Amino acid sequence: MSAEVIWQFELEDGADPEAVAAELRRRLAALQPVQEAAVSPPQEERTGVEILAVIATAVVVLRTGRELTEELTLLIRAVRELVGEVKGVKGAAVDVEGELVAVEEADPRRLAEAVTA
């Protein structure tokens, strides 16, 4: 069984969206808990802020909630690092039951409940 976790990555002004998308796809796919990483084409929000719209990652949902929470903890930590390491990315947020939550505030227990609901 797998669960899909949706991320949005905000780009810095002047960032190359295609290059950032390729780097995020490569880095996300290499993460331990990630089974698959799909990157959608860059989009712009109404505010005019350039957004790399939806970065979807499917993580393996193990048999117990504790193991899923541990994998999501690793994924959240890795995404926090990506924000600081991938040139052109200035922020990330995860979709938790339709609400975007900044990666700095993401709670793996709440995310685990949301992806298994």
From first to last of its 117 residues, the chain has per-residue pLDDT tens of: 567 888 888 888 788 888 888 898 889 888 877 777 777 766 555 444 444 444 444 445 444 567 888 888 988 999 999 999 999 888 999 989 989 899 999 999 999 889 887
Rounded Cα distance between 105 and 76, Å, is 10
Domain ranges within the chain, ordered by starting residue: 2-116
Q: What is this structure's pTM? A: 0.81
**Phi and psi dihedrals of 112, rounded to 5?**
-60, -45
Residue 58 burial (C-beta neighbours within 10 Å; 0-12, 13-18, 19+): middle
Considering the segment(s) 2-116 as one domain, its CATH architecture is: 2-Layer Sandwich (3.30)
Give the pLDDT of residue 49: 47
